[in-house]
Amino acid sequence: MAKGKWQMANQDLASGGLGQEYGDWGWLYAVCVRASPDISYRTPIPARPVEAIEIAHPAVPAGLDGVTILHVSDLHVRRAMPGTERSRMVLEALARTEADLIVLTGDLMDEPGHEAGALEVVRAMAGVWRARHGVFGVFGNHDTPHFQRACRDGIPGIRWIGGEVVEVAIGGEILGLMGMDWPEDPLEVMLGREKGSRDRGIEGSGDPTSTPRSHDPSTPLVALAHHPNSLIGAATMGIPILLAGHTHAGQIRLHPRLAPHTSSDLPMHLASGMLRLQDTLCCITRGLGDGVVEGLRINCARQMPLYSLRRGGMPGGSGGGVEQVVGW
């Protein structure tokens, strides 16, 4: 890097500007920002975790056009997180953001031994979030069996739907919601619904038995998974929309399409954003936590997407495999 860019990075830090929210890692963040020729996907600093995103798909019924879903994922709570600036940021964002549904897609805790801290944070979240029609969740690969049991038994107000297909009544329509705990298998979940795992009218309003539907009721409209690799199975099953996390969008991005490590089988340029495979859209959040080192994020601000479902044509569609149709 040219000397001038180092000097500009240092000036940013000295003036309390770019990179300050990353603490001890701010110098590296500032250097990478100055070095990166295209950082158009990066949100402004200081980061605001709630980002409004529209998901347009022809399978969205007219009666569900405008339904909002707040996506919370990958908190990676450690022992010391309760009461920290990051936990306050998450709680404040939840308290000020109303949505029709709130969904959790796993990795709420970081490592074994961090269960108590994660439970404290999830309880605090449950005390402030504002979901008109319910909160639904699945677990990720970092969520231990002990943590999962404690969440199911000790935190009211969350419907854990791993392995289930449920139907949520919203106004005069039904939104089919499918949950896949890690390791995910959409075929197994779809087959399992024939064994009595299907519920009707969960946490919603209206009478689901008398509601006319403008989409196929046998197919969930939205699926929740931790791993975005589930996109392949979801597309094969004809599920219109998949919400996932896990990758943290790479957490360190030297360029919007260059994340050296994503913990995913997807190529590095597909680690976040809205992907399309056939007629399925997959939205991968950048997440709210940090893997390995707390606070280490470069060109990859924390994110809590607020999706609005829209009835309309899907973006992209050039064919030939997975493509990123919206980047973030």
Three-state DSSP at 190 gives: helix
Q: Of 264, 263, 267, 273, which is closest to residue 300 (Cα–Cα)?
A: 273
pLDDT digits (tens, 9 = 90+) for 42-100: 444 444 799 999 999 999 999 999 999 999 999 999 877 767 888 899 999 999 999 99
For residue range 276-288, list pLDDT tens digits in order.
Answer: 999 999 999 999 9
For the beta carbon of residue 191, count every other beta carbon within 10 angstroms. 11
Buried b (16+ CB within 10 A) or exposed e, 65-102: eebbbbbbbbbbbbeebbeeebbebbbebbeebebbbb
DSSP summary character for residue 227: -
pLDDT reported for residue 241: 97
Q: pTM for the full model? A: 0.80
Starting at the earlier edge strand, list the strands of the sheet with 135-138.
Answer: 50-57, 304-311, 68-72, 101-105, 135-138, 159-160
Q: What is the DSSP letter of 181?
A: P
Q: Using alpha carbons only, give the angle 307, 271, 93 rounded to the nearest 5 degrees.
A: 40
Tokens coding 180: 């896949």
- The mean per-residue pLDDT over the stretch 313-322 comes to 84
| Dihedral sign for Cα atoms in the order 56, 58, 62, 68 | negative
Q: What is the pLDDT of residue 224?
A: 97
Token pair, residue 237, equals: 């099953």
Question: Under a CB-based contact definition with an 8 Å cutoff, are residues 13 and 27 in contact?
Answer: yes
pLDDT at residue 318, rounded to an integer: 65
Based on C-alpha coordinates, what's the Rg of the chain?
20
Residue type, 297: R
- Hey, what are 259's tokens? 């994340």
* Predicted local distance difference test score (pLDDT) of residue 217: 52
Residue 4: the pLDDT is: 43
What does the block give as tokens for 61?
């019924």
What's the pLDDT at 26?
54
The more confident residue out of 192 and 205 is 192
Residue in this structure with the two tokens 């990075």, named with its chain if needed: 9
Structure token digits, residue 101: 């549904």
Is the separation of the CB atoms in 50 and 304 below 8 Å? yes
Q: Are 55 and 310 in contact (CB under 8 A)?
A: yes
